[in-house]
Every structure is written in C-alpha cells, then in structure tokens.
Structure 1
Amino acid sequence: MIHRGRPATIDVPDLTLTEYVLGREPTDGDDRVALVDADRTERITYAELGADVAAVAGGLAALGVRPGDVVALISHNQPVYAVAVHGIVAAGAAVTPINPAFTAAEIAKVLRASGASVVIAAVPAAAAVAEAADAAGVAHRFALGEHPGFRPFAELRGCGLAAPRIEVDPATAVAALPFSSGTTGLPKGVRLTHRNLVANLEQNRVGWPVGADEVLPASLPFFHIYGFTIILNTGLAARATVVTLARFALDDYLRMLQEHRATRAFLAPPVVLQLATAPAVDDYDLSSVRLAVCGAAPLDVAVAERAEQRVGWPIRQGYGMTEASPGTHQVAEDEFATTPAGSVGRLLAGTDGRLVDPATGEDAAPGEPGELWVRGPQVMPGYLDDPGATAATLVDGWLRTGDIARVDDDGVFWIVDRLKELIKYKGYQVPPAELEALLLTHPDVLDAAVVGVPHAEGGEAPKAFVVAARPVGAEALMDWVAERVAPYKKVRAVEFVERIPKSPTGKILRRELR
C-alpha cells in the first residue's frame, strides 16, 4: 500500500539552490538583517549577503573552481557561514560541510573522499584543518578570520568580482555533499542535487510557512542537514532573520530566544530534556516563541509534555534523513493541536511512503509496522562513488530508511524501532562500524563490537564490547579512542567479553549484546 503526502504532487522550481534562496527577488538595497550572531558582534543584511555571495563566487571562479568541483566548509555557526555556502554554490561547486569538532584524521578522510580542491575553515578549527589539508593534498585554504598558512576569506568577499555565469542542470548537478552513515557502515558522501534541496524547501514550506518578519534561532549546526535546510536556507528563502549560536549552552540559548524575540524554535531531544528539567528556564521570557519542531532523533513523549508545560509552546516532531535533504514527514503548524504527541506527522507534499516487512520484502499487512520506504523529489540520486551502498539503499526509486514505522487510519506516522545500526548521541550519527574498526587497531584488542545504550544526557551513547588479547583497563581504552575521534563519538562504556556473537556470515549480532 502506498501512502501519499498532501498534495500528492508539488511543483519544484527549476532553479539552483542559491537562485531559489537568494535570487527570486533582488537583494540590492535590502537592509533587513539576514543573519546576526547571538551576541550581535556580526550582522549581515540581505543586500550585503547578495553582494558578498556574488564576490565569493567570482573569487572562487578566478581560483579555478568550476561546476562539478567540491569545496569543503568547516565551521561552527556564524553569519559568514551563509556567505561561504552560497558563494560556493553560486560558483557551480558543491559544498561539503564538515563538523569542526572532527580530528585532523577525520577531516582528512572527508577531504579525500569528497575530492575537495578548496577548504574554508573557521579559525578554531584551522590547526586541525591545516594538518588534514596537508594529508589530503588540498592547497587552497581560506580562514574565516586570520590564521597562519590560510588566506583570509575576506579576500574573496572583497575581491569585487562578479559571480560567474554557470550552466548546470539543477536536476543532476550536486549542490551539497554531506557525509552520512546511511543505515549502516562508515560515512558516505550523500549527493544532494539543487533540485533535491529546492524541492525539500518547497515541501517544508507547505506545512511550516515562515514569514519575513520571523526570527529563527540557529543553535543546531549548519554542517548538519537539519540546520542546513530547515533553519539556514528556510530562513533565508523567507527573508527572515537567522540568529546564530556558535556553541550550545542552555543559558546562552535561552538568552538568544529572549533577546532576539525568536518566533519558533528548532530542537533536538537533549535540548528538550533540558527545557523540561533545568531551573534556568524559569529565568527567561520565552513568550515570543510560537512553536517548536524537534528532529534528529526520537523524542520521549513524557519529556516533551513536561517541556511544553515549562516553556508554554507546543513541541512536535518531524522526520527525515540526510539522504532525503532531509525532510520526509512533518506535523503541519495548523495540525499541532490535533496531531498526537509522539508521532512524526504526515508525509510531506509530493512524498510517497510504504511500510515493508523486512523479513519478506513485501508490503506489511494493514495496521502492522514495517520498514519505512519513501520516495519523492527530495531523495538523493545516490552515494558518492559507492554503487553498492546506493543499490542497497535505493530500491526501484524508493529510499529505505532503516527505521520501523506504523501509520494510523488518518495517515499519521510513528517511528517505533529501527533496523539500522546507527547510534544517535545528542542527534549526531555515530556509526558503530567506525568505532569497531578503530578499536581493532589497538594492540590489546582481539575483537570488538559497539552498540548504543541509553544515556541520560545524550539519549543514546556508544558502548564497546571487547575481547582483549591481554589485560587492559576500560578507562584507558576509552581515553585511547577519545584521542582519535570527535567528542560525540567517544565510547562511554566498555564491557570485556570472551567472544563477540556473530552470525554464520560474520555479521555482529548487536541485538544479543543489547
């Protein structure tokens, strides 16, 4: 049975991402604030944004960047992030956003895999980026500020060159190349075309219409597809004001909501938990916020209800994944009051869904849960240079999500379990295979498996089961891993076992470990 979003089809403008976000109406002379950081030390108007994006595109073109190239962007949230993103895209290149908390080795992997020819980095990440760029052979380096060995990004912003005339097909040209672990395995480059991203902006706008008079707080990172599409580009396309927060801390976030009079909030489950429990919430005036959307990981209903009582605005979930740009489901604003808490709402406009029995590959019986498959114009054409993973994830045009869902008679969906092995710590993807591969390089480890276990702060966290070759301390092993991965990937518990349970084909039986 195929479930359909409402409306069942949607018109997708034949535009590049930057044309859609910034080019549908002129920015010349528009002195409205497009982006401002939470403490108001940097602000960019729409007029400045349009001019700076054009100059950066021209500067990159002069450097030799052409359609089909890739430019890496490694930064925390700050107003100039938008200038870099759309300067890259306006030059015809694809942007590959990278977490600035990554180690040099992790950054180098993405630089190599993406084939980036230019890297743009925030100053705090520049030392690690320099080491990674050396390892990956990336010569062109710009810093969003001043840092030895990097040219200042201000050179591009101030070069005075016009944006190049580019000819790309929005339906096939890649605009963004984020790296995701998909349903299993190691991170893979997700090829998102201009059409994918523009379609998802149009789809989300049906149920979540953002006005030009709104203020969108951006604490969730722009390098994550949630922040990239749902906050940054949604806000700019609506000519709203986007307020950036470099690093989440509850008091800083609440102060941003209060002082900037934010109109809606974008949350992840750990933030909802803090809103439900932290005494500091009572010290701030949050009355300007009308509603909140939570994504990136499942949200506990009881926690959400407690948070709603504290803050005074409704919180509902959305659903998606990087491979879908990211949205596939939403609770429309006008249905917040009538949609059951705990659901992820309905399929987006122009999106189809199926529930498939993972054991048989046939559609699940009516009323029964099954793996959620979706299709629509927001779904990626495939992974970068990985036809095997693409074939396993895209089946006859359907995207296999790896999540088990159910749907009621009104077309409202619930996520009830998952097939995929990813661990979600504070909404960030932690692929167990990556940690297992790292642990197996330790001289005292014979075998290892990693699973997600409940975690009070992060929702879920990695726990390692280890077969040791000789005595080794759990804390020492966790410290060793922590030195080699981004902080959110750290192993937070270790249990030593005599063997790792595996299937006859060698697949780790994670459910037995859980």
Structure 2
Amino acid sequence: MTVRSPYADIDIPDVGLPEFLFSDLGEHAESVAIIDGPSGRKVTFQELADAVDRFAAALGERGLGKGDVIAMFAPNNPYYPVVFHGALAAGVAVTTLNSMYTPDEVAFQLRDSGAKLLVTISPFLDRARAALRAEGLAVAEVVLMDDARDEASTPMPENALADLLTTSAERPSVSISGDDVAALPYSSGTTGRAKGVVLTHRNLVANLLQFGAIGDTNSDSKILAVLPFFHIYGMTCMMNNGIYKRATVVTMPKFDLAEFLRIISEHRVDRVFIAPPIAVALAKHPMVEQYDIDCVDVIFSGAAALDADLGHKVAKRLNCTVFQGYGMTELSPVSHAMPEDKPDMDLSSIGYALPNIECKLVDPETGEEGPRGELWVKGPNVMREYLNNQQATDDTLDADGYLHTGDVATVTDDGVFYIVDRVKELIKYKGYQVPPAELEALLLTNDSVADAAVIGIKDSEGEEIPKAFVVKQEGASLSEDDVMSFVAERIAPHKKVRAVEFIDQIPKSGSGKILRKDLRARENTSA
C-alpha cells in the first residue's frame, strides 16, 4: 500500500542551492537576513550575498572547486551561512562537524570526508589542532571565523576569515547542477558509526520547497536558530529556510535558557524551532514567567518525538501553536510535518507526508505492506548515498528508491502518520544520535571489560539515555562511575553512558548478534 502526500507535487528546479537562494533578492536586498543574538549585530541579505561571493572567490584562489570538500567546526553565528553557501557557490561540498566532538571524532570525519580546508573558531582550536595532527588528513589550511589566535604551535597555516573576505578576485564561474554534491553531514543512519550522508543541491532545494509548502514563514517572520546549523535540522529548517523565505534568522551559539528567553523578547522572535528538551524548560521552568515572550506565534519541534501532553502545556503557557514533524539526515531532513493551516491536528502525530513524497509501511518480519510497518520514504529529498560505504547504502536505500527509515509507523485513512516504534538500534538522546555499536566498541577497549552491550532506556523525565550492560574481566575492580568516566573522557558529551549495570553474560544469538530485546526485557522487569 503506497501512501502519497495529499499535496500536489512541486516542480524542483535544476539549480544549485546558492542560485536558488540568492539569485533574485529584489525588494529584500536591504532587509535584515541575520541577527547575531548575543550582540545584536545585523546582516542584510545583500551583505550576506556579497560575502558569499567573496568567500567563493577566496576558495577559487586556493584552487578549490568541484569535487573538493571543506569542513565547518563551529557553533551558530552570522558567518556560518557565508562559509556554507560560499563553498557551495564555488562548487565545493561542505561537511559539518558536531561542535561537541572530541579530537578523535573530528579527525575521523575530516579523514573520511577528504576535507581540504577547516573553518572553525578560536575556542575550538585546541581540539582542532589535536585532530589535525592525526595521519591521513587532506586539510591544508585552517580558517578562523573570529581570528583570536594564540602562539601555540600549529600543524598547518591558520588564517582569518575576515582576510579571505577582502579578496578582489572574481567569484569562480562554476556550472552547478542539482545532481552535484552540496552537503556531507554525518549520521549514524540505522546502525553503526557515523557515516557521511551525500546530499545534493537538488535534495536541499527540494526540501526547502517541500517544507515551505506547509508553513507560513514569510519576510515578516523572525526565526530563532538555537539548534545547531551543523545538524541538518538547523541547516535546512532554520538557516536555509529563513534565507529562502526572506525571513530574519536570529542566531544563538548554544542553548542557555535565560539568553534564549532574552533574545526572543528583545528581538520579538515569532517562530521558534526546538527539540523536545527545550519544550520541557518552556513548560516547567519558572524563569519563563520573567520574560515578555508573547511575540511567539509558532513553535516547531523536531529531532526527536515530542510528547503530546508536553506540547500542549507549552502551547497553553506561551499562548502559541505547537507543531511537530519527522525527518532524518538522510531525508534532508523533513519528510512529514503538521501543516500550519491545521493547528488542531493531533500533536502526537507527525502530520502528513510532504509534497512529492510517497511512503510505504512494511512489516520488517514478513515484508508485507499494510497500515503499520517500517516507514519507507521516496522523494527528491532522499539522499544520494552514504559516502564511501556501499554496503550501508544498499542496506538503507532499495532499488526502487525508497529509504528505509528504521522507524515503525501507522497511517490513518486521511494520511496522518504516527511513529509508534523503532526497528533500528539507534538511541536518540536529546535529539542527537547515539549509535550503541560505537559505545560498545569503545567499552571493549577497557582492559577491565570482558564484554558490553548498550541500549536506550528512559530516565525519570522520559528522556532516552544510553545504558551500558558490562561484563567485568575476571578479578577486575570496576565501578559504575569508572565505566561512565572512561567513556566520557573519550567521546562527545551527548554520547556519554548515563547508566551502568554489571551482568554475568551479554545475551547473544547463535551468530553472535547482541539480543537487545532480551536486555530491554530485563530492564522492563527490573523497572
């Protein structure tokens, strides 16, 4: 049973993303495109477009062009879209790194993506420099957005973005089609270590048109971008969607509740994109009452499932409308969303499939299609492939072009979808992906650990967290805190193990596969 979007298909132009966004600024050239939330500094659409051209020219001067990749390792700031779109305008693809990554994680993504230039900020330099000392990297230069360099020895040249933007060179003349690679965000997909998701210009242009069809964002809107641009949700729904709709995007480098509320109040933000943990604060924290945020009209939640009761509490407290949607990096990212012209839609749903999308619900055991099953998605926003990983691509994308999401869904006769379960092993902690296999591999490097398995469990607030089941080596002295500290020292904060249980044996199948369902049953019994 194939379920198509209830919306009419949209024509997707065969153009590069920068041309799609900046080719005709018209009456909006002098409108404010970006506001730096902390400082209040403003950038107009024309200033942004000019800076994009200059950065593209600077990359061209360095001999970078089609087929090359640069990396961004930075929090949200007004220069982020300059670098991102400047690279794309030069025909260069961009891989975006998680701001919380450790040097080892940074080095892995730089090596895997083949990035030739790294753009970062001075507070991240210690980690960046440590990563760049790893072997097998192609990076030849570091560009600093803030140029607050120190005297430390560096593995390669470091230059200021401001200096690059003074170039008098012409923007390179590059023919960019929709099939060219634009972005390489990294995702854990359904299993395993993070993989580069190959997103084309067509993927990103298509998803802006698809998502825009169900929303009311316009040139009078102000969007708060507190969720990171390195994540596909922030990249598409906040940064690029704001530019596309000629709205004003207000950037925040990280979430801090007081600053979050101050910026909303001061800049009269009316559209706020969040992940569920922020909804908890908005619904419960007394600080919310101290700020005038009655300007907020719409809150859109993504990256993880939003509890409907929690969403209703936020809506009531802020006197706004709360929506949610569904997506993943491999979908650029949005495939389903609640449309803004249906504010009374069931908030526990993920809404309709967006235009140009068709879906199947397939029983993962029998392969039969029906009203409940693993959600398969087909459309112009579906990634091209996983970078350098044909097996993972074949496991996720089938011959008919359907992406197998790993999430179990149901659909009503009216085409409203609900996510009800998960096939994949991935843990979602505060909207971030945590692959159990990566944590298990790390735990097994500890000499005191004989075996380990990791699953997601719910904490006291209903948040999914990673829990490790650990078998000690005979005679080893190992505490729960020892295990958690060992992992925390070697991995990004969002991937930390947050609960530990010692057991005698990890349940496994005859082929050696960890039986996570048995561990979940054990957890449910003891809860």
CA distance in 2, matches of 1:501, 1:113: 33
CA gap 1:457/1:65 in 2 versus in 1, 3 angstroms: farther
Residue-pair matches, total: 508
Q: Report 1:377-392 matches (<5 A).
A: 377-392=380-395
Q: Alignment partner for residue 163 of structure 2, among 147, 155, 159?
A: 155
| Residue aligning to 1:446 | 450
CA distance in 2, matches of 1:151, 1:413: 49
**Aligned-partner SS, 1:191:** strand
**Runs of 4+ that moved beyond 6 A:** none
| Residue aligning to 1:139 | 140
**Within the alignment, does 1:21 sit opposite 2:21 as a pair?**
yes
Q: Is the deviation greater in 433-442 or in 448-457?
A: 448-457
CA gap 1:241/1:442 in 2 versus in 1, 3 angstroms: same
CA distance in 2, matches of 1:142, 1:212: 32
Q: Report 1:81-230 matches (<5 A).
A: 81-135=80-134, 136-146=137-147, 147-148=149-150, 149=154, 150-170=158-178, 172-230=179-237
Aligned-partner residue type, residue 395 of structure 2: A
Q: Please, which runs of 5 or more residues in structure 1 have no aligned partner?
A: none
Q: Are 2:25 and 2:45, in contact at CA under 8 Å, matched by a contact in 1?
A: no
Q: Report 1:417-436 matches (<5 A).
A: 417-436=421-440
1:57-96 CA deviation, whole Å, 9 max, x = no partner? 0001111111111100011111111111111111101110
| Residue aligning to 2:373 | 370
| Residue aligning to 1:482 | 488
Q: Please, which runs of 5 or more residues in structure 2 have no aligned partner?
A: 521-527
Q: Are 1:52 and 1:158, in contact at CA under 8 Å, matched by a contact in 2?
A: no
Q: Are 1:447 and 1:467, in contact at CA under 8 Å, matched by a contact in 2?
A: yes
Aligned-partner residue type, residue 349 of structure 2: S
Residue 42 of structure 1: how far off its partner (Å): 3.2
CA gap 1:52/1:26 in 2 versus in 1, 3 angstroms: farther
CA distance in 1, matches of 2:6, 2:296: 27
Aligned-partner residue type, residue 457 of structure 2: V
Q: Are 2:457 and 2:466, in contact at CA under 8 Å, matched by a contact in 1?
A: yes
Q: Report 1:167-316 matches (<5 A).
A: 167-170=175-178, 172-316=179-323
Q: Are 1:193 and 1:380, in contact at CA under 8 Å, matched by a contact in 2?
A: yes
CA distance in 2, matches of 1:201, 1:137: 32
Q: Is the deviation greater in 131-140 or in 216-225?
A: 131-140
CA distance in 2, matches of 1:258, 1:449: 45
Q: Alignment partner for residue 367 of structure 2, among 337, 357, 361?
A: 361
| Residue aligning to 2:518 | 512
**Aligned-partner SS, 2:512:** coil
Percent of matched pairs sharing the same residue: 47
**Aligned-partner SS, 1:95:** strand
1:283-317 CA deviation, whole Å, 9 max, x = no partner? 12222111111110011111111121111112121
CA distance in 1, matches of 2:52, 2:68: 17
Aligned-partner residue type, residue 506 of structure 1: G
**Aligned-partner SS, 1:467:** strand
Q: Are 1:34 and 1:242, in contact at CA under 8 Å, matched by a contact in 2?
A: yes
Aligned-partner residue type, residue 397 of structure 1: G
Residue 6 of structure 1: how far off its partner (Å): 2.9
Q: TM-score, normalised by structure 1?
A: 0.97
CA gap 1:485/1:458 in 2 versus in 1, 3 angstroms: farther
Aligned-partner residue type, residue 144 of structure 2: A
Q: Alignment partner for residue 493 of structure 1, among 485, 490, 499?
A: 499
Q: Are 1:281 and 1:311, in contact at CA under 8 Å, matched by a contact in 2?
A: no
Q: Are 2:396 and 2:403, in contact at CA under 8 Å, matched by a contact in 1?
A: yes
CA distance in 1, matches of 2:359, 2:133: 45
Aligned-residue Cα RMSD (Å) equals 1.4
**Aligned-partner SS, 2:223:** strand
Q: Is the deviation greater in 34-43 or in 400-409?
A: 34-43
1:424-483 CA deviation, whole Å, 9 max, x = no partner? 111011111111111111111111111111134681111111111122111012111111
1:332-380 CA deviation, whole Å, 9 max, x = no partner? 110122x11200000000100110010011212xxx4210001000001
Q: Are 2:70 and 2:116, in contact at CA under 8 Å, matched by a contact in 1?
A: yes
CA distance in 2, matches of 1:455, 1:160: 56
Residue 41 of structure 1: how far off its partner (Å): 4.7
